[in-house]
Amino acid sequence: MTEPLDYTASELLAVMSGRILVDGQTAFAGVGIPLLAAVLAQRTHAAGLTILFEGGTLGPFVVAGELPPSTNEQRCTRRANMLLSITDVLLLLQRGYVDVGFMGGAQIDRHGNLNSSFIGDPADPAVRLPGTGGGNDIASLTQMIVAMKHERRRFVEKVDFVTSPGYLDGGASREESGLVAGGMYRVVTDLAVMGFDDETRRMKVLALHPGVTAQEVRDNTGFDIDIAAEPKFTEPPTGKELGILRHLDPDRLYTA
Catalogue the active-site residues: 54
Per the CB < 8 A criterion, the answer to whether 37 and 11 are in contact is: no
Query: Rounded distance, CA 119 to CA 161, Å?
Result: 8
Question: Hey, is 127 helix, strand or coil?
Answer: strand
The closest of 71, 148, 54 to 62, measured between CA atoms, is 71
Which stretches within the chain are classed as H helix?
9-20, 33-42, 86-94, 135-141, 173-176, 214-219, 239-248
Q: Give the number of C-alpha atoms closer than 13 A to the C-alpha of residue 25, restricted to the C-beta side.
A: 22
Residue 164 to residues 75, 109, 125, 140, 241, Cα–Cα distance (Å): 27, 11, 18, 7, 30
Strand order through the sheet with 50-52:
82-83, 57-58, 50-52, 26-28, 100-103, 143-147, 183-188, 192-196, 203-208
The closest of 81, 93, 32, 30 to 57, measured between CA atoms, is 81
Within 10 angstroms of residue 58's Cβ, the number of other Cβ atoms is: 18
Per the CB < 8 A criterion, the answer to whether 189 and 150 are in contact is: yes
Per the CB < 8 A criterion, the answer to whether 250 and 64 are in contact is: yes
